[in-house]
Amino acid sequence: MTGGVFLTLLLIGLPISFVLMVTAAVYVWLTGNTALYSSFMQQLFAGLQSYGLLAIPLFMLTGELMNAGGLTRRLVAMASVLVGGLRGGLAYVNLIANMMMASIMGSAVAQIAVMSRVMTPEMERQGYDRAFAAALTSAGGLLSPIIPPSMLFVIFGVLAQIAIGDLFIAGIIPGLILAGAFFLVIAVLGFFHEFPRVARPARAEALAGGLPALSIPVVIIGGILLGWATPTESAALAVLAAFVIGRFVYGELTLPALPKVFVETGVNAAAVTFLIAAANVFGWVLLYEQVPQTVARWSGGLTDDPFVFMLLVNLMLLLVGMVIDGIAALIMVVPILMPIATDVFGIDPYHFGVVVCINLILGLLTPPVGAGLYVASSMADARPTAVFKALVPFLGSTLAVLVLLSWQPDLVTVLIRD
């Protein structure tokens, strides 16, 4: 009955946070355990009582300040200096610029929206197909939740109670592998299509303009690697750096623009944190119903091979990600699957976390939900079906990387070993 309520509310389009809360409330009522209502609000607020979650609005604020302060545009110009002269150079520029932005923004949808406004019109002017330009830009957005910092990693770290800083570091090599796979896709497509060349901007000017902006990921990752700051503290330092660079170095961040920046950040952060709070109540119900134990017994009967288990998890999460937002799906599946992965199959929690997060972001670009797909197609004024068709090679390469990482956990954990 409770499952029917959940599916019905989901299908009629109720926001996922309310779906989770209503489903939990209905479960309490149906089971007659009305005394649990007294703990309902406590469980709701308990979901937010984690210092690590403070990094989410701070990383969001960093991205908004970068856009308002002109940092994004200068990173694109710097990428053009590096690879702009190659055949299909602008496609490589798009991907490298997305890598630079991924090390700052942490949100795939936000990155796709920003980079679509910057790169898609320019690629179309240079002779690229509009749907391909939108597809490449949205595929580049998949790097954002993997290359640190990452909101998905923050949330997974809080849910799994593991070190968020180590999870950030664990995502570096998988992020580079995924970017390399995308470079290979561009090279193969360029072999069959005559991608245009573009003139490089003035080297000295572009590099000098982009270096201050490039200091922000250095602040974030350097502070964590050197042990000088926690991920949350690094996020606060990144906000300060973005403000100083945009305001005093580039001179484009004006004080009248700040209220809009703060409002955008507040609205987006509130939506994410409310979802986390609602999911904590839902997870409370799952634990009360012993759902993780049931799933553990079922999966244990299918296989005792960790790699096969990871493949089964990947298949299941691909289906889940198609209909449920990545953050919501992450919050729902981690309390169920994490104990099974670590306790039953002995899978490293950082390995499991990186694979799960990569898998769930694919849902951003796959129908029927596909928020990133619709954002990119809307920005490019292209049909979502055309953009999705152009995305297929990039989605296929992402699936290949997922299988590789599931098979070789060392690719994830090598940087965090003592």
Of 1-5, 76-80, 84-88, 139-143, the range with the highest mean pLDDT is 139-143
Q: Which tokens in the block code for residue 384? A: 């979502």
pLDDT for 352 equals: 95
pLDDT for 335 equals: 80
Residue 382 confidence (pLDDT) above 90: no
Type of residue at 261: V
Does 149 sit behind a cis peptide bond, omega within 30 degrees of 0 on the bond before it? yes
Looking at every residue in the chain, the average pLDDT score rounds to 81
Q: How far apart are CA 318 and CA 194, in angstroms?
A: 34
Query: What pLDDT, in 10s, does the model give residues 272-281?
Result: 778 777 777 7
Residue 343 confidence (pLDDT) above 80: yes
Whether the CB-CB separation of 380 and 130 falls below 8 Å is answered with yes
**Residue 315 CB-density burial (10 A; 0-12 exposed, 13-18 middle, 19+ buried):** exposed
DSSP 8-class letter at 237: H
Question: Who has greater pLDDT, 392 or 125?
Answer: 392
**Residue 226 CB-density burial (10 A; 0-12 exposed, 13-18 middle, 19+ buried):** exposed
Residue 140 confidence (pLDDT) above 80: yes
Type of residue at 84: G
Does 368 sit behind a cis peptide bond, omega within 30 degrees of 0 on the bond before it? yes
- Average the pLDDT over 16-30 and give the result: 79
> Which of 104, 108, 162, 184 shows the shortest CA–CA distance to 140?
108
Query: What pLDDT, in 10s, does the model give residues 310-334?
Result: 998 888 888 777 767 677 778 778 8
Handedness of CA 137, 139, 140, 142 (dihedral sign): positive
Q: Inter-axis angle of helices 306-323 and 349-361, to 10 degrees? A: 30
Q: Inter-axis angle of helices 172-192 and 130-141, to 10 degrees? A: 170
- Average the pLDDT over 357-366 and give the result: 85
User: pLDDT band for position 347 (50/70/90)?
Assistant: very high
Q: How far apart are CA 176 and CA 173, in angstroms?
A: 5
Of 139-148, 151-160, 180-189, the range with the highest mean pLDDT is 180-189
Question: Who has greater pLDDT, 4 or 400?
Answer: 400
Residue 26 confidence (pLDDT) above 90: no
Position of tokens 């694979």?
A: 355
The most distant pair of C-alpha atoms in the chain lies apart, rounded to whole Å, by 71
Query: What pLDDT, in 10s, does the model give residues 213-269?
Result: 888 888 887 887 777 888 888 888 989 998 999 999 888 899 999 999 999 888 877
pLDDT for 407 equals: 94
pLDDT > 90 in the chain, percent:
18
Handedness of CA 183, 184, 187, 190 (dihedral sign): negative
Query: What pLDDT, in 10s, does the model give residues 192-214?
Result: 777 776 666 556 666 777 788 88
pLDDT for 300 equals: 61
- Average the pLDDT over 338-347 and give the result: 89
pLDDT for 334 equals: 85
DSSP class per residue in 113-140? HHHHHHHHHHHHHTT--HHHHHHHHHHH
Phi, psi of 382 (to 5 degrees): -120, 155
Q: Which helix (H) or strand (E) is 303 found in, with range?
A: none
Question: Who has greater pLDDT, 11 or 355?
Answer: 355
Q: Cα separations (Å) of 382 from 123, 311, 387?
A: 14, 34, 7
> First-to-last CA distance in the chain?
48
For 35-41, which contacts have Cβ atoms below 8 Å and span 24 or more sequence positions?
36/288, 40/281
Handedness of CA 230, 212, 71, 90 (dihedral sign): negative
Residue 289 confidence (pLDDT) above 70: no
DSSP 8-class letter at 245: I
User: pLDDT band for position 108 (50/70/90)?
Assistant: confident
